[in-house]
Each structure stands twice: as structure tokens, then as C-alpha cells.
């Protein structure tokens, strides 16, 4: 199953669209805790090609997998040591091992608008080194992409591990042309737009040698539109629906 998606983040001609589970979800938010080892294992057991996960750094510089800057009942991640985190919250290293043989989109979380923003991009640099060290090994993912909304995070990854492909996440409502130009200017290998994109966007991206991996595509209509547009991958809360709509089962 994992071999179906071909090269990553681009896909070869006549290979199906890659399906990644958003934070390991198998349905709408609230159906179990996401960004956990159990969630990732469940998503891949359900047929997803891999997962999207979020990485942040702890107070002692350990890359861990969590979406929000604060952990309920614990406090802001940037003020908490890794040893003091709850056992369900995985390190990036453990998460990548749980995704062995799969495709992974590692999203770096380091917004300048958040308390604890790290201008040194510690999570991006340390996370990239961990990913590069296990990528393609028996204990790591077979394919990977490092994505972020913030150019500084992507530039840090490219400096630390230039061999890793990076992708620019576009905010909802962002202009497609501007986002594509920005991704290309940053030396990215992929653009990650919100929603299904469109034929014009995909064709323009492919001419610039960028893959298109869309996120926020959960409804049958959006998934069908993404497939018709020719995207390379989807990041979805509904991997089972995506596999069906995209003709994967």
C-alpha cells in the first residue's frame, strides 16, 4: 500500500493521490486524542499512506509532537521540560518510529504571534536533524516533507538538512499565485494550499516543479475536486472517505 504513492512529495504519472491523515485523525475532531502514537498507528492501519503531525520544542530543546503551544493541565510547552510531559505526548523521534515505512508531513510550529516564539528555530533545526537521521531506515518513514506557514522555519530546515524537501503552508484565503511564487522563491518542493486548489494552480505548480498537497479537504465534494485538479496529496480528517472518493478502495 505504501508503495502506491510513488515519489514524495510529487507523484509519478498514473499513480494515485497520496492520502495523509491530519494529526492521525480518522474522523472529525473529538474522536480520540490526535497527534499520538496510537492515532498514527490507527490511521495507517485504516489505509492512509501516512500522517501529518506537528512539532514544537520543549524548554530543554526536545522536539515533541503537539499542535497547540500549551498542553492542558501542564502549561506552555516552551516552559516545560520533556521529562515533565504526560506520557501520551510523544517525542518526534518516537512519532517517526511509529510511522516507519509511511509518508510523513512534519509541520513546524513556531509562530511569531505566539508566546515562546523561538527566533533561532530550534524545533525546525533539531526536528530536521532527527528526521534526516531516520528517513528511509527500517525505523523511520519512507518519505517525508517538512512544512510550515513561516518562511523562517523552512529556511532553518534547509540550512540544517538541505536534502529534506520543504513545503510552504498557505493560510485559508491566501492568494494562490502569491503563495506559489513565495514557495518557489523559498526553494520549496511543495505548496500546501487550504482547500482543493484548482487545475490552474496544480498546473502552474508542476511547471515550477512544485508538488501540491492540499489540506482542510474533508467533504466528499472537496476531495473529489482535489482529485480532479490533479493534486499530489491530501491531508484530511477523513482518510477513509478520501481513499474511497479518490478511487483507492
Residue 1 lies in a domain: no
Residue 144's pLDDT is 96
Query: 232 in a domain, yes or no?
Result: yes
76-88: burial string, b at 16+ Cβ within 10 Å, e else:
ebbebebeebeee
What's residue 175's pLDDT? 87
User: Based on the number of CB atoms within 10 Å of its own CB, is 98 exposed (0-12), middle (13-18) or buried (19 or more)?
Assistant: buried
Residue 115 lies in a domain: yes
pTM of the model: 0.96
CATH of the domain at 31: 3.20.20.190
Domain that holds residue 206: 16-245
Q: How far apart are CA 249 and CA 225, in angstroms?
A: 18
In the prediction, which pLDDT does 29 show?
Answer: 76
Q: Can you tell me whether residue 126 is helix, strand or coil?
A: helix
The answer to whether position 132 is within a domain reads yes
Q: What angle do CA 207, 54, 239 make, to 5 degrees?
A: 70
Separation CA 53–CA 46 (nearest Å): 17
Cα 195-119-178 angle, rounded to 5 deg: 30
Ranges of H-type helices in the chain: 37-45, 92-98, 122-134, 151-160, 176-185, 199-207, 220-229, 239-245
User: Is residue 61 assigned to a domain?
Assistant: yes
The count of domains in the chain is 1
pLDDT along the chain (249 residues), means of 10: 64 89 88 92 95 98 98 97 98 97 97 95 98 95 96 98 97 89 97 90 94 97 96 96 94
Q: Which SS3 state, helix, strand or coil, does residue 90 take?
A: coil
| pLDDT tens, residue by residue, 152-177 | 999 999 999 999 999 999 999 888 88
Q: CA 11 to CA 119: how far, in whole Å?
A: 34
Amino acid at each position: 500500500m505504501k508503495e502506491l504513492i510513488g515519489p514524495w512529495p510529487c507523484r509519478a504519472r498514473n499513480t494515485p493521490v497520496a492520502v495523509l491523515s491530519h494529526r492521525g485523525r480518522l474522523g472529525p475532531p473529538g474522536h480520540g486524542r490526535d497527534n499520538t502514537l496510537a492515532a498514527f498507528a490507527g490511521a495507517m492501519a485504516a489505509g492512509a499512506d501516512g500522517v501529518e503531525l506537528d512539532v514544537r520544542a520543549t524548554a530543554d530543546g526536545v522536539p515533541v509532537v503537539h499542535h497547540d503551544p500549551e498542553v492542558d493541565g501542564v502549561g506552555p510547552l516552551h516552559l516545560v521540560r520533556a521529562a515533565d510531559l504526560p506520557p501520551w505526548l510523544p517525542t518526534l523521534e518516537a512519532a517517526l518510529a511509529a510511522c516507519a515505512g509511511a509518508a510523513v508531513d512534519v509541520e513546524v510550529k513556531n509562530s511569531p504571534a505566539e508566546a515562546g516564539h523561538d527566533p533561532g528555530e530550534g524545533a525546525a533545526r533539531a526536528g530536521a536533524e532527527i528526521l534526516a537521521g531516520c528517513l528511509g531506515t527500517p525505523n523511520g518513514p519512507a518519505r517525508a516533507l517538512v512544512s510550515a506557514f513561516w518562511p523562517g522555519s523552512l529556511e532553518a530546515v534547509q540550512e540544517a538538512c538541505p536534502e529534506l524537501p520543504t513545503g510552504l503552508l498557505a493560510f485559508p484565503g491566501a492568494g494562490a499565485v502569491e503563495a506559489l511564487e513565495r514557495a518557489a522563491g523559498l526553494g520549496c518542493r511543495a505548496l500546501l494550499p487550504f482547500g482543493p486548489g484548482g487545475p490552474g494552480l496544480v498546473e502552474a505548480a508542476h511547471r515550477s516543479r512544485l508538488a501540491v498537497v492540499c489540506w482542510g479537504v474533508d467533504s466528499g465534494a472537496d476531495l473529489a475536486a482535489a482529485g480532479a485538479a490533479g493534486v499530489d496529496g491530501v491531508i484530511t480528517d477523513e482518510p477513509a472517505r478520501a481513499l474511497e472518493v479518490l478511487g483507492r478502495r
